[in-house]
Amino acid sequence: MRFSPTITDLMTSPISAAHALVHHRVNTRPLLDVSQAAPSYPPPQVVIDAIAAAASDPSVATYAPQPGLPALRSAFATDLSNAYGGEVVADDVLITAGCNQAFCIVASALAGPGDNMLVQDPFYFNHGMWLDVEEIEGRRIPNDDGLIPNAEASAALIDERTTAIVLVSPGNPTGVSVPPERIAEFAALAKANDLALIIDETYRSFRPTDAPAHTLFDDPAWRDTVISLHSFSKDLAIPGYRVGAVVAGEPARLEALKILDCVAICAPPIGQIACIAGLEHATEWRREQAERVAIHQQRFESVMADRPGGFELVAAGAYFGWVRYPGTLATDDALRKLVVDHDVLAIPGTAFTEEDEHMLRISFANLDAEQIDRLGERLAEWST
């Protein structure tokens, strides 16, 4: 049989590629898996109870309304309005099977082969893979110090085939939060050039502040420019239930719905029911988990402060540490050495960058406090 050259040339998921190294390990001690970002704690009991009750209801096995269950759209709009202080209503919300799907259907609705989007550097690999599938060019936005994307410098990248600017805040893989004022600059740039501003806010609850992530929803005309993407996977510790959301004006939602109808029809109802329970009854639990992850970040930063084994922490936030490894090995070789000899499974930085910058993404939030300490000990072995 024949395959699409576009797909055969596409990179393999770096998570799958990294996991393929595990069976080469030479030690018997437990693996420290800091590859795929995953909550290290179970969902709140109220969510577990809602799922159990829903599973015995035959109606939950049917299709949900394509835009999402009305109760979830309403609850999430209220949650966003409370968090940001702006106006988001239920009709602004489109529920998807995870945030990755949210990005894919929005990107495909906005652009086609030969078009381009401005993207952060480093850039989330699944977003990059989808742009490659659709033959959309991702033009890397220059950074200021601290890996903060520069809006003014981005203007020179825009041409007649540019359709959108894509931000991820907090960033994946860096964990860096783009300041609200910088997000506003990008929104103004997008509006001035008739572009969409796509902002992936998967990790919005895991920022170092309770202040709003941005003020975009304060603008009565935000629906003309802004497309905000969200995930419930980390917020409610339910990544396997695959629930995300697109928050946008009607034109963008209607075009995205056409693609959703082809790839999923609707997000699974049982996951949506889990999210309703979490949004309505687990606000304090969500806050506690965010505080737990923040404490783990502090511990991780403390462990990395002494540069164990020569590993340098470049940035950290949300779930991630963006780490430069020592020596001259190519990143794929360094990753193999880390897994095989040191029993640490991370993601290579080359999944996120155009050049090999000797970086690794470490999802410290996967670990408990003792495991974070153990991670430092294993990295320290590198130089021996």
Question: What pLDDT is stored for residue 171 in this prediction?
Answer: 95
**What is the pTM (predicted TM-score) of this model?**
0.93
Are the C-beta atoms of 360 and 339 separated by less than 8 Å?
A: no
Question: What pLDDT is stored for residue 92 in this prediction?
Answer: 98
Tell the CATH topology of 5-41+285-383.
Answer: Aspartate Aminotransferase, domain 1 (3.90.1150)
Question: What pLDDT is stored for residue 384 in this prediction?
Answer: 53
Q: What is the pLDDT of residues 87-99, one digit of tens each?
A: 999 999 999 999 9
Encode the chain (384 residues) as per-residue pLDDT tens digits: 999 999 998 888 888 877 888 777 878 899 999 998 888 889 999 999 999 999 988 888 898 999 999 999 999 999 999 999 899 999 999 999 999 999 999 999 999 999 999 999 999 999 999 999 999 999 999 999 999 999 999 999 999 999 999 999 999 999 999 999 999 999 999 999 999 999 999 999 999 888 999 999 999 999 999 999 999 999 999 999 999 999 999 999 999 999 999 999 999 999 999 999 999 999 999 999 999 999 999 999 999 999 999 999 999 999 999 999 999 999 999 999 999 999 999 999 999 999 999 999 999 999 999 999 999 999 999 975
Domain boundaries, the chain: 5-41+285-383, 45-282
Domain 45-282 class in CATH: alpha beta
* Bond into 70 cis (ω within 30): no
Residues in Cβ contact with 209 at an 8 Å cutoff, skipping those fewer than 6 apart: none
